[in-house]
Structure 1
Amino acid sequence: MRLIAKALFALTFGIFVLAQPALANERYGTQKVVYHINGNGGKDSKAYMGAMRNIQNHINAVGAENLDVVVVMHGNGVGLVMNAKDDDRLQTSIGSLKSQNVAFHVCNNTLEGRNINYSDDLYDVWEEDIVPSGVAELSRLQAMGYTYIKP
């Protein structure tokens, strides 16, 4: 009888463990999300790292395959990719998120207004990452059904 009880427990436990990802998918489904970064982290990357952790936690909960994430930076938020030029932690975090298909969009109005050269002054930003206007991009994505999150 003990052997049967142990076998039933092991089977039940195994089903529970294997069902955890399915339960998360059932709970959250697929999501489209835009993260808005415009705050002033200054030279201290702590606020930016917090935002990157929020995004990674979101991915961990929903699953990268169930999540379409865009990060839109404008104003002081461009400091995220500016500080990353000299911050290994930010570089690692950005690289990890990009490997999970997170897109990073940078406002061209901010770049022009602050005389920032994306290829010289920003970390891992390419021409296709530049959007004409950060706020217009936020509006466009929300109109497309993206949920707005401000970390």
Structure 2
Amino acid sequence: MTRLAKLALASALTIAAAGAAFAESAHRLAIHVDQNDPAVMNLALNNVKNLQAYYKQKGETVELEVVTYGPGLNMLLAESPVKDRISAMAMEADNVHFSACANTMAGIEKKTGKKPELLSEAKVVPSGVVRLVELQEQGYSYIKP
């Protein structure tokens, strides 16, 4: 096989692999909540609903992760003002995930003397900021309502 033929074959395989990876990938979005504001929390959940509806209508898949830290962790606490919406979303779809920052939880525990109680839908991550970085490195788009 000539050098030019090898180069053409390698290029074709690279393009085919990239196309296959693109076709298989879902839309992936990281939604950042760092405010203890019910309006911001509801806006984040509205973003989740709107993104789900849009991509479902197009026949495309979407993965969503709401990452909370700092004052935004209140969104995932047992007494959250949006707990009913979060529970409903988690039951309706398996493509929405809720992450709670362990650093923020440790700060709350240090201040109050008790570990904060999270909603059952929340998954604890070591650091909310680090989680957002990791998601973006994995190709997630970043949204801050």
Find the counterpart in structure 2 of residue 68 from structure 1: 63
Once the two structures are aligned, what percentage of the paired residues are identical?
A: 29
AA paired with 1:61? Answer: Y
Going from structure 1 to structure 2, the CA distance change for 1:65 and 1:117 (only over 3 Å counts) comes to farther
2:140 counterpart (131, 146, 149): 146
- Larger helix fraction of residues: 1
Distance in 2, Cα, partners of 1:85 & 1:124: 12
Alignment partner for residue 47 of structure 2, among 54, 57, 62?
Answer: 54
Moved over 6 A (4+): none
CA RMSD of aligned residues (A): 2.2
Question: Match for residue 117 of structure 1?
Answer: 115
Gap runs ≥5 in structure 2: 1-24
Instruction: Tell me by how many angstroms 1:49 deviates.
Output: 1.5
SS in 2 for 1:145: coil
Q: When the two structures are aligned, how many residues end up with a matched partner?
A: 113
Scaled by the length of structure 1, what TM-score is found? 0.66
Q: Report the equivalent of 1:24.
A: none
| Partners of 2:131 and 2:80 in 1: CA distance | 27
Unmatched tracts of structure 1, length 5 or more: 1-28
Deviation at 1:65, TM superposition (A): 6.2
Question: CA offsets per residue over residues 110-147 of structure 1, 9 Å max, x none?
Answer: 000111624xx222255xx1111110110001000000
The superposition leaves residues 9-62 of structure 1 with CA deviations (integer Å, 9 ceiling, x where unpaired) of xxxxxxxxxxxxxxxxxxxx8301110111231xxx232122211111111111
SS of the equivalent of 1:148 reads: strand
Name the stretch that deviates more: 65-74 or 55-64: 55-64
State the match for 1:79 in structure 2.
74
Whole-Å Cα distance in 2 between the matches of residues 62 and 72 of structure 1? Answer: 21
Normalising by structure 2, what TM-score?
0.69
In the TM superposition, what is the alpha-carbon distance from 1:86 to its structure 2 partner? Answer: 5.8
